[in-house]
Structures are given as structure tokens and as C-alpha cells.
Amino acid sequence: MKIGILTGGGDCPGLNPVIRAVVRTAVSLNDEVLGIRNGWKGLVDNEMGPLDATAVSGILHRGGTILGTSRTNPYKNESALAKAKANFKKLDALIAVGGEDTLGVAAKLFKDGLKVVGVPKTIDNDLSGTDFTFGFDTAVNIAMEAIDRLHSTAESHRRIMVVEVMGRHAGWIALHSGIAGGADLILIPEVPIKMSEVTDAIKRRTGRGKNFSIIVVAEGAKFEGGEITLEKKLDDFGHVRLGGIGELLGKKIEELTGFETRVTVLGHIQRGGSATAFDRMLGTRFGEKAVRLVHEGRFGQMVALKANEMVSIPIETAVGKLKTVDQAFYQMARTFFG
């Protein structure tokens, strides 16, 4: 069998472990693997080449993706879609590794009759049907370490430190890193920011003799008026470039509390570098399972982690509704604010 593999959307620690696992499993089953460069763009432009065990040797610990990635959406343009479908004929099946956008394209191709299997990837952990996506654990650990480090400098200077982390629609990174790092307040896209809650948390701390605070805010968090963006230009999937909420929040905190405030934007540091053991393991299990699904002819499915078991669910279900933070979980986190 000829199996293609591509990685699309924002890169993510754990992509190389997936690619390695797909190739190693496929080779053990006497399949050929074709690596498609730069996500869906490579399928449109026919940029693909063989991947064997040697090609994936030594990549397990490496960040990024050896295949490259893009945010190309072949459904935006009829001739691109026709080219992608024509090139697909060179494959018996395709494994698409990506988040809601890349897998959204995979779901459409499957509907159009093509043999696609999905692997969930995003540091944001916002895909439904899987307990975790790989990359999330790494991002959380990076953000937690940053919060740990900011504690000592915040305390020395008696400052408020605002840490802006990634999370476009969902506050999973903010919540997990904030709870693990002992943040004094965590602000997420799912719950509009109320400045009274921010200042109350800071006041509660000063009441206990603590004259510094750490506030974690997800990039997608918003005041009533809507999300804060760096630029309005849309990508192929209609997303704006987020950013700026940390700065805005920092200014408001300084005005309202008189505390000197500093803002740290972690940005792509959360996505770069090698994956944690958890993400390497998850990526490896996902990659192996994806090849098994291809062999079982279970197309249109995405591999998923449920209660530590490898299962599969329809790709359409995974991308149909994003997995956001529920109120009960956020309420639990509130116990530790201020």
C-alpha cells in the first residue's frame, strides 16, 4: 500500500514522533510511505517523496516537523482542489496530521470519496473526542516553567506579572499551566474578563501581605467588546492574528491598582523545541494507530485518546464542535485565585 502523510496548521511538539511512528509501522507492514511537504500545499503542488526508516531516524526528539507545514486550504480555490484530488490518485490512503482546520479539510475530502485518516494535533487541546492532543503537555510545561521563573522576580520588585499564553478559542493551556504554576488569576477565552474580578484577586493577596501577583491570560481572552488582535488580516481558514490582550490588561491593572505591572508574551516559545515524554508517547501511539486504521479500511476516522485507550472517532465529530473549558472546571480553578 502507498500511504501519504502530511502535517498542516501551526507546528507542534510531537509531530516528528507521529511521522516516525507512521513510517516505522507502515514499513513493518510492507507499505510504502510518501511524505507530503508543507501540509495541503504540498498535495496541491505535488511535492511528495518517499520516507523510509532511515529518513525518520533521529527525529524523535526534534521539535517542528520534518515535512514542513502550511495553513493552505485547498477548498478556497477550485483549481487547487482539483490538483490536490488529482495528486491524491498517487496514494492508496492519506494520513493527515493537524488541528481543526487541517482535519476540517480531511473531513471534506473523505466526504468527496477520498481515503483519509486523521491524527489530532494542537497545543491548544481544543479538538473534541480526544482527552488530549499531543503538543499540549509540552506547551503547558513550558508555560508553567515561565510562571515559576516570574514568581521570584515579581516578588523581588513587588510587581504584577501578566503572562500571555496561547489558546485561541480555549483556555486549556492557561488553566493547566496556571493551576500547576500557582497563578493568582487565570483568564480564558470562555469567560469574558471582568476588571472587578482582577482587582479583587489582587486586593485579596495584598490583604494577606502578598504584594506581588501572577496573572495568566490566554491570547483569546476578551473583555465584553470582543477579542484583541494584532492585525485584522484573515488566513485561509478565516482566522485573525491574535495578540495584545496581555498589554491591554497590564495597562488597566496598573491604572486601577497602582501596582507596577510587567507583561510577558510567551508566544511561539510554547510551540518550539522538543516534546515532553508524554507527547512523544502520545504521538507514537497516534501514529501507530493511524496506520492500523488505514489497514482496517476505517477511513474518515481520527485516532483519539480516551481513558488512556487508543480509539477512533469520525473526523467530522472531532472538528464539528471545539472542546472548550467547561464552567465547572473553571469554577474549581477559582478556588485558588487571589
Backbone phi and psi for residue 49, each to the nearest 5 degrees, phi listed first:
-155, 160
99 φψ region: left (φ > 0), alpha (ψ -120 to 50), beta (else): beta
Q: Of 154 and 266, which CB lies nearer to ligand F6P in the complex structure?
A: 266
Q: Which stretch binds ligand F6P (CB under 6 A): 39-47, 140-148, 165-173, 323-331?
A: 165-173
187 binds ligand F6P (CB under 6 A): no
Least Å from the CB of residue 126 to ligand F6P: 8
Binders of ligand F6P among residues 205 to 234 (CB under 6 A) are 219
Instruction: Report the 10 Å Cβ neighbour count for 144.
Output: 21
Instruction: Report the distance separating Cα 260 and Cα 159, nearest Å.
Output: 5
Instruction: Report the distance separating Cα 157 and Cα 135, nearest Å.
Output: 33
Least Å from the CB of residue 107 to ligand F6P: 17
Binders of ligand F6P among residues 93 to 112 (CB under 6 A) are 99
Pull the grid cell for residue 334: 477559582
The set of residues, in sequence order, having a beta carbon less than 8 Å from that of 86 and lying 6+ positions away, is: none
Least Å from the CB of residue 167 to ligand F6P: 5
Least Å from the CB of residue 223 to ligand F6P: 18
Contact characters 121-160, ligand F6P, x per CB under 6 A: -xxx------------------------------------
# residues contacting ligand F6P (CB under 6 A): 10
- C-beta separation of 217 from 201 below 8 A: no
- C-beta separation of 120 from 304 below 8 A: yes
Q: Which stretch binds ligand F6P (CB under 6 A): 37-45, 49-57, 162-170, 251-259?
A: 162-170
Pull the grid cell for residue 277: 515524554
Among 37, 121, 159, 168, contact with ligand F6P (rule: CB under 6 A): 168
64 binds ligand F6P (CB under 6 A): no
Q: Verify whether residue 124 is a known catalytic residue.
A: yes
Among 3, 4, 5, 10, contact with ligand F6P (rule: CB under 6 A): 10
Instruction: Report the distance separating Cα 212 and Cα 155, nearest Å.
Output: 6
Least Å from the CB of residue 175 to ligand F6P: 14
Instruction: Report the distance separating Cα 303 and Cα 113, nearest Å.
Output: 19
Three-state secondary structure along 118-138? EEEECCCCCCCCCCCCECHHH
Distance of CA 315 to the CA centre of its chain: 17
165 binds ligand F6P (CB under 6 A): no
8 binds ligand F6P (CB under 6 A): no
- C-beta separation of 186 from 175 below 8 A: yes
Binders of ligand F6P among residues 67 to 96 (CB under 6 A) are none
Between the CA of residue 26 and those of 4, 94, 198, 234, 263, what are the distances in Å?
Answer: 11, 12, 52, 37, 47
13 binds ligand F6P (CB under 6 A): no
Among 68, 120, 129, 167, contact with ligand F6P (rule: CB under 6 A): 167
Q: Of 24 and 71, which CB lies nearer to ligand F6P in the complex structure?
A: 71
**Catalytic: which of 124, 137, 184, 279?**
124
Pull the grid cell for residue 314: 469520525
Site of interaction with ligand F6P (CB under 6 A)? 10, 99, 122-124, 166-168, 219, 242
Residues with a known catalytic role: 124
